[in-house]
Amino acid sequence: MTKKLYLPVLVALVVVLSSCGSKMRGLSSDYFTTNPVVLEAVGGKVPVTINGKFPEKYFNKKTVVEVTPVLKWKGGESRGKTAIFQGEKVQGNHQSIAYKMGGNYTMKTSFDYVPEMAQSELFLEFKALKGKKTYTIPAVKIADGVISTSELIKNTLGSANPALGQDAFQRVILDAHKDNIMFLIQQANIRTNQLSKAKDFKNQVQSIKDAVNKRISSVEVSAYASPDGGVELNTGLAKNREKNTEALINREFKKGDLADVVVDGKYTAQDWEGFKELVSKSNIQDKNLILRVLSMYPDPEKREQEIKNISSVYSTLAKDILPELRRARLILNYEIIGKSDEEISKLAKSNPRELNIEELLYATTLTENPAEQEVIFTKVTEYFPGDFRAYNNLGRLAYQAGNLAKAESFFKKAYSINAAPEVNTNLGLIALVQGDNATAQTYLGKGAGAKELNEIMGNLYVAQGDYNKAVSAFGDVKSNSAALAQILAKDYNKAKNTLDSIKNADAYTSYLKAVLGARTNNNAMVIDNLAKAVKQNPSLAKKAATDLEFAKYFTNVDFVAIF
């Protein structure tokens, strides 16, 4: 949108310049535009582009004019970059303005934002120089105030989610017990010296079945033949080894209380995978050549022949590798069942030393009471002082309670133990709250792997004025900061959805809804939510009363009544 300002005050400029010998006619008006039309804080700055025009027969050929943007407010001002223009007969390197044709010009400048700029005015100050004489012309106002919605990031940061040092608690842990029954070459009968293995395996299965906190998942017998010899021979061998081993295990199970345990049997005729694994782990000569043969020849008979052709190592294979593949594997898969939530919660209060560190950290997720969580985390720091997570999480609680100094202290303690991604992310958040974006970026650059990193990066991008990047970083996070980024990026539908989905809505949630209402011309949304915001946080009344987001409501009876 273009803003047209009539500037009769510039008549004074014409008069002064005419007194320098110019034949300029009187000037009734001039045009200036600013982009944006209403100035806006972006990343802690107030950038503005000013487009102006020197009209025809206006600019004295021997005159230099300095134009300086100045943002003024009650009790202060900030001066922008001066632009210098010169007449046609002036020797210099500045933009030359023709007397007959006049000329257009563009100025870009930026001011460091301060809160007082919300009620400010942007002026252009002119100074004309001809020879040794200087003429100061009255300033011309070209814009009103600064929209400071982006600065709300300093308020919404309080509801950001610091990174959590998560527990690794698993209620169900998968485990396995394995053993092998070995066979002689080209034999499937189970030798006497292997029978004890079946008995030991049976005892292991029985102990798992009898354990209160363990549960059998499956019992497997997997028989193999080594890849030397023909496929037909090896198929018969592997099949008979599986049959004999399964029968032996079933007989052992019937001796105990295991008759109901099902044994799943299978066989592999030629164990090329096992052969490859053993060769890879060995130090035998020409190991790489053997592995290359396996990759080049998929046909089992061709593989066997090529390997036998490597006569220098085949005797080693026959002695050290192949005998290990003539086996039946006994596999017991089972689950270790951890304590119930009720047990963990109870022990965390009554006897926390009975819990390991993962159980203690998990216990904090079973209560929503910050005081109870703090007690448990403190116990963890006493029992396990070498673990960073409890210190980090105590800092998280302090941050959420609004105690930034305490939070920073805990985060630094956690950092001294382990500079983990979560800790770096949280120290980055602290730096961001302190307004130190450069330090925040350094810490966050080491936060890869922290679950909450993207959310904190979203806050940083808002503070830097990169709103589209912020929206992308926030993703589906439902927070005040995420909604703020979406409003600033003009994604109003997404912002509304985010604001409506915030769990712990506060005064700034309501204020942002009011801003959204103003930008989408929803009067009821503005009035209702501003009233709610001011009720929740009376200090917002002063901000709202001068916030240019609500400029068109300043004379609205309902709006005024809120204050």
16-27 pLDDT, tens per residue?
444 443 433 322
Question: Per-residue pLDDT averaged across 192-216, rounded?
Answer: 95
Three-state DSSP at 330 gives strand
Q: Is the pLDDT of residue 185 over 60?
A: yes
Q: Is the pLDDT of residue 339 over 90?
A: yes
- Residue where the block lists tokens 């804080």: 41
| Other residues' Cβ atoms within 10 Å of the Cβ of residue 449 | 12
- Give the span between the Cα atoms of 34 and 40, in whole angstroms: 11
Three-state DSSP at 16 gives helix
The answer to whether 280 and 287 have CB atoms below 8 angstroms apart is yes
86-97 pLDDT, tens per residue?
999 998 889 998
Three-state DSSP at 161 gives coil
The answer to whether 549 and 518 have CB atoms below 8 angstroms apart is yes
Supply 479's token pair: 């927070």
Beta pairing class for 64-73 and 83-86: antiparallel
**Residue-by-residue DSSP string for 523-552:** HHHHHHHHHHHHHH-TTHHHHHHH-GGGGG
Q: Is the pLDDT of residue 502 over 60?
A: yes
91-134 pLDDT, tens per residue?
888 999 898 888 899 999 999 999 999 999 999 988 888 888 88
State what percent of residues in the chain have pLDDT above 70. 94
* pTM metric for this prediction: 0.78
Q: Is the pLDDT of residue 5 over 80?
A: no
Beta pairing class for 83-86 and 172-182: unpaired
271-312 pLDDT, tens per residue?
999 999 999 998 888 888 888 888 888 888 888 888 888 767
- Give the span between the Cα atoms of 27 and 366, in whole angstroms: 77
Predicted pLDDT at 30: 60
Which three-class secondary structure string do you get for 259-327? Answer: CCCCEEEEEECCCHHHHHHHHHHCCCCCHHHHHHHHHHCCCHHHHHHHHHHCHHHHHHHHHHHHHHHCE
Question: Per-residue pLDDT averaged across 10-16, rounded?
Answer: 41
**Domains with residue ranges and CATH for the chain:** 8-147 (2.60.40), 172-337 (3.30.1330.60)
**459: which residues sit within 8 A by CB, 6+ positions away?**
153, 156, 157, 160, 429, 432, 470, 481
If you average pLDDT over every residue of the chain, what do you get?
Answer: 91
- Paired residues of 128 in beta bridges: 65, 135
The answer to whether 454 and 473 have CB atoms below 8 angstroms apart is yes
